[in-house]
Amino acid sequence: DAKTTQPTSMDCAEGRAANLPCNHSTISGNEYVYWYRQIHSQGPQYIIHGLKNNETNEMASLIITEDRKSSTLILPHATLRDTAVYYCIVRVRYTGTASKLTFGTGTRLQVTL
């Protein structure tokens, strides 16, 4: 699985958009970009994933650059409950053999009043 680089921490004011960047310059053509988050003491929670097109769901939007070497997770209206560690993971989606989900250290997002 390709390695990812994320900032260690970010702050965001409540109600504003939170834009979390991720670099994955060694991504392969068949690797997807996944985002998970972990709110303090809880199990990681899936947010969104994509291959090359931008994706949106009820939680967030995922913007992937045309060369696929970086992406941005957007939380459009951050709330205090979005305070968490956000993990960007790049991996093959359909695989006949098991592969681990490699969690790096992620970005700690602090949403403030």
Amino acid in the structure at residue 67: D
Residues 40-79 that bind another protein (CB under 8 A): 41-46, 49
Please check whether residue 78 is in contact with residue 17, taking contact to mean a CB–CB distance below 8 angstroms.
yes
Is 15 or 103 the residue whose CB approaches another protein more closely? 103
Is 22 or 106 the residue whose CB approaches another protein more closely? 106
- The mark string for 77-106 relative to another protein (x by CB under 8 A, - otherwise) is ----------x---xxxxx-xxxxxxxxxx
Q: Residue 71: beta bridge partners?
A: 22, 64
Residue 106: CB atoms within 10 Å: 24
Residues 45 and 29: their CA atoms lie apart, in Å, by 25
Is 29 or 113 the residue whose CB approaches another protein more closely? 29
Amino acid in the structure at residue 69: K
**Contacting residues toward another protein, per CB under 8 A:** 32, 34, 41-46, 49, 87, 91-95, 97-106
